[in-house]
Amino acid sequence: SASVKDLEKLRKAGFNRISLGVQSANNDILKLIGRRHNWKQVEMAVGAARDAGFDNLSIDLIYGLPSQTKTDWADTLMRAIDLRPEHISCYGLTLEPGTPMYKYHGSPFLPSDDEQADMYLYASDMLEHYGYGQYEISNFAIQDFECRHNLKYWTLGEYLGFGAAAHSCMGGARFSYVKDADRYIIGVMRDLNIVDEYERITPIERASEYIMLGMRTARGIEGGEFTLNYRCDFRPLEETLREFASKGWAYKTEEGRWRFTSSGFLLSNLLIGALLEAQSGSRVAVNPWMKEAFDAEEKTELPPGDEELFRDMYMKGRGREQ
């Protein structure tokens, strides 16, 4: 449905990146999963995007689809690579209860876990071969075309959201705006409070996020960084990571950073869980004199009025919601 004319309007308006939900190059599979497009339309959309001036194009693919074989997946990858997008995402199919695709849960039409693992590892090797570096579990890009939006989350950067239900992370806190669009618009126009949820991020939570999000990326995590920023002993984590390395799931770079191998990425949920368990025993091991402070921090709850204080600060000089 993408036309050069429509895409040119977007480009002139300031949009500089297009992401296409391609999913598969097999037209039969596309019909099976309820997609309205076919491969020919994908090629036309890519051509239209290029003609409209977009030089940053991303394609989303899914492996583990019903009736999909490893041959189908290899063909989809090669066709996607032939389009020369700057970025390719490869996601394993997740069946969520209440969705149309959930009817395939437990179906013999789905590839087995081993087949899906083979598909993932094949994608990792093939994309690397053709110049797409893996910078996160499911994401591959030509150099300097990594998704800055996602990297902001994975590197614990601050971000500010605009619009109904938008989420932000600023100044050591996470907050979101009201979900109802009309209420959001009226709130903005009348200078009313539009903050819906607000929470402070504790150092303990930030340390866990550093591990969980950092190990999702090719950058990984580093001991000195962890100890300096979160006042925690990295040794229990390093011991666990060395165990992973002995099984081929992780390795330490020349710069001293720990990251997962492709096989480790496959098991990332389990492995990150093990690292978080190791982290729970790592705090204050290098600084015993901090134990009382840490214990107190874990037992302390936010004052009842903390959220209201934030709202007051946010709304300073503005009208209050009636």
- Are 136 and 256 contained in the same domain? no
- Are 88 and 122 contained in the same domain? yes
What global pTM score does this model have?
0.82
Query: Nearest Cα to 201, choosing from 191, 193, 209?
Result: 209
Number of residues written out for the chain: 322
Estimate the share of the chain in helix, then strand, then coil, as percent rounded to the nearest 5. 45, 15, 35
151 φ/ψ angles, rounded to the nearest 5 degrees: -60, -30
- Are 81 and 142 contained in the same domain? yes
- Are 168 and 308 contained in the same domain? yes
Tell me the H-state helices in the chain: 4-12, 27-32, 39-51, 70-82, 113-129, 148-154, 181-189, 203-214, 223-230, 235-246, 262-266, 268-280, 291-299, 306-314
- Are 167 and 101 contained in the same domain? no
CATH of the domain at 115: 3.30.750.200
- Are 178 and 309 contained in the same domain? yes
**pLDDT by 10s per residue, the chain, length 322:** 678 999 999 999 999 999 999 999 999 999 999 999 999 999 999 999 999 999 999 999 999 999 999 999 999 999 999 999 999 999 999 989 998 888 888 888 899 999 999 999 999 999 999 999 999 999 999 999 999 988 999 999 999 999 999 999 999 999 999 999 999 999 999 999 999 999 999 988 999 999 999 999 999 999 999 999 998 899 999 999 999 999 999 999 999 999 999 999 999 999 999 999 998 865 444 334 334 433 443 443 434 444 454 444 444 444 444 3
